[in-house]
Structure 1
């Protein structure tokens, strides 16, 4: 069996069902080989006589139609995996497996925009250059009022709104917008395309001239390149303090996290410990830090796995305060194995420890500054700005 390379080892923040739902609701395509005719060996021809006997009884006595062999075999695999009592060692069917690969590569059916809170309860858009939204006439700063005629609610999160914008490639979506500085509403109909979605978004915080904002939505193959680029651009715009937003980030690719951490930590600083059944490996930050100013990290219950590793490393080394709510708490690492029918096997092969050698399973990280979410406002970001203004964000 060919094992995925280290760059394809994941640290996801929720059990597989949560991962699949993430792709359904929030969202290089990898495609498996043609479906194989999977089967259970006949008695005397395989190593599983008990299973053979049980299945032969079923085939002889069952009243009704049997599902295809591939479906039956996946069911058998899932039954075996359930005995491990590990919610992260799972089998994904071909369609969710392909969605996972699309998500991690940054490809999805969408319109090519980033969302951000422009003011209390109002979401603004920034179109990706040459994306469907930009070509249709969406301008930076346009306020999003409705999607397909359904008005946005003040209680909706950015993630929920993003989910409404995504869909099947080729499908249409209608946006109701208000141009910045006007009261007139306009309607645009866009066609969703296969879009390369950046894993990050960044900007200067509105109402400030020296606070940058960097959000990592998911750790994908693009993130190690995007984070340094974002920090350089924010520094050029005059950022002296930085908000790193990891809320709702359920993890993703663990490879090259040392590069991302190295943007904020000195070379050689411990990012995490990778512990398998037989060995322990210390992962260290690499490169020279690009940003050494005041830093806060926004976290919540959706901050999990890879994002928890980064948040813990920044706090353990005294680089950042955590603001928001308790994180999810997941310390296991999964390796991915593609199977011949296009399905994907996730196998827990290691756990990680924080630089302080803490395992976070079921515990998570407690914020230094709690900030409960409020409808139509960003309480955590407001707390971060207050922290900067008071000069309390250096530990």
Structure 2
């Protein structure tokens, strides 16, 4: 399997609730779609794509041939009937990341290269065991973020409607909307219900923010990466080059709350820090791993400490796993989200689209982090109260010594600098 820049995404990031979902790039050429006139042809085309590409050759222990017979035996008078059957068919796979999008939904998955979004700025998934809708992470500085939505919040109601039995596609259709309109979310957070009224807005997102900081570790480069969107690698390259020109002694790379995004973006950014070695292995149905490796053109060899938390998912886990396994960085924070799946997203001729889980990924050492995540080298937990204080009520403390996770990262970085970059993971 060849990893192409226009074909692969990380299914772990699920759905970003904006009218343009930055975590779901990767569109195959329109010419690959075969649907012409018959709704039944669309049903069969979707079945065929899953038959050829789905990561699990047992189709999660489902008789996929019998499914085809069942749904092609039906008569369809219009596309809406076909859409309903396709969703039913895919639901049998018990995979929330393999899903069908009608033309409107698929349009909302397209990425505008300007980075402007319309929505509340939240990324959700569906728990594979409980089927509950779960927040992966709010995107920083968006309405959901400012309202106080946190990673791992379970969405119980949307505008008063129960989400029981609801998939991510249905949730998106209820949550998205026009700017300046309001949506209400009821979430379960550690057994307590909380209600949020969130106003939708236009959101301009720049994935990289950085600064030069004077810390106890010395002249430190701080880089916060919010998501792995189409322009993330370019912005990261500019940040590193600028900080290198300022002679920083080391870096703190902050991936906390980063829900992931494009596979190629995570690989490109890893290459900026890793000069040689494997970055990630993707394993398709056939089982033969395809490796992405460093290209000998790292932009810095300075010590690196990476900050992660339970909102760090998919592409964040690829990057942190690559840096950890290659002994290139020390990981500080809490266990990450734990999603290790790759999707292909492709259009169909009628304007609808299909996302199919086509591969798993492993870290360079061969770890499958799906459902587990990356374990930090140095664990630093924050209470919910500390998170609210840092990320909402007093943002000025974030990435300062008043931020316990950042303070520990600086302490570790100081040791790394003193040790001339030899990574020593603390337990």
Shorter chain as normaliser: what TM range?
0.5 to 0.7
- Tell me, in whole angstroms, the C-alpha distance in 2 between the residues paired with 1:157 and 1:79: 31
What secondary structure is seen at the aligned counterpart in 1 of 2:95?
Answer: coil
User: Is the aligned partner of 1:321 residue 2:333?
Assistant: no
Cα 1:385–1:233 change in 2 (3 A) is same
Equivalent of residue 206 in structure 2, options 172, 182, 198: 198
> 1:367 and 1:51, CA in 2 relative to 1: closer, same or farther beyond 3 A?
closer
Gaps spanning 5+ residues in structure 2: where?
42-64, 120-140, 154-175, 182-200, 391-402
* Cα distance per residue 1:296-346 (max 9 Å; x no partner): 111111211111111001001111111111111112111111123333211
Q: Report the secondary structure of 2:96's partner residue.
A: coil
The two structures have a TM-score, normalised by structure 1, of 0.66
Q: Is 1:12–1:250's contact at 8 Å kept on the other side of the alignment?
A: no
Specify the alignment match of 1:387 in structure 2. Answer: 412
Q: 1:290 aligns with which of 288, 295, 299?
A: 299
Question: Quick check: 2:5–2:264 contact (8 Å CA) kept in 1?
Answer: yes
Tell me whether 22-31 or 234-243 shows the greater mean CA deviation: 22-31
RMSD: 4.3
- What is aligned with 1:336? 345
Residue 318 of structure 2 is aligned to residue 309 of structure 1: yes
Task: Report the secondary structure of 1:314's partner residue.
Answer: helix
Structure 1 pair 265–50 and aligned structure 2 pair: CA distance change class (3 A) = closer
Aligned partners of 2:337, 2:19: CA distance in 1, in Å?
18
Residue of structure 1 in register with 2:389 after alignment: 376
Closer/same/farther in 2, CA of residues 97 and 53 from structure 1, 3 Å limit: closer
Over 3 Å counting, the alpha-carbon distance change for 1:169 and 1:77 in structure 2 is: closer
The one of 258, 276, 279 equivalent to 2:284 is: 276
Question: 2:8 aligns to what?
Answer: 9
Alpha-carbon distance in structure 1 between the residues aligned to 2:310 and 2:265:
24
Match of 1:21 among 9, 17, 21: 17
Out of 348, 360, 375, which is 2:357 matched to? Answer: 348
Counterpart for residue 106 of structure 1: 115
User: For the residues of structure 1 that align with 2:235 and 2:87, how far apart are their CA atoms?
Assistant: 37
Contact preservation (8 Å) 1:247, 1:298: yes
Of the two, which has the highest radius of gyration? Answer: 1
Instruction: Provide the C-alpha distance between the structure 2 equivalents of 1:233 and 1:316, rounded to a whole number of angstroms.
Output: 27
Distance of 2:26 and 2:269 partners within structure 1: 24
* Closer/same/farther in 2, CA of residues 352 and 156 from structure 1, 3 Å limit: closer
Structure 1 alignment gaps of length 5 or more: 42-46, 57-67, 111-143, 161-166, 173-191
CA distance in 2, matches of 1:287, 1:92: 40
SS in 2 for 1:322: strand
Of the candidates 88, 99, 113, which is equivalent to residue 90 of structure 1?
99
TM-score (norm 2): 0.61
Farther off after superposition, 323-332 or 94-103: 94-103
Secondary structure of the equivalent of 1:228? Answer: helix
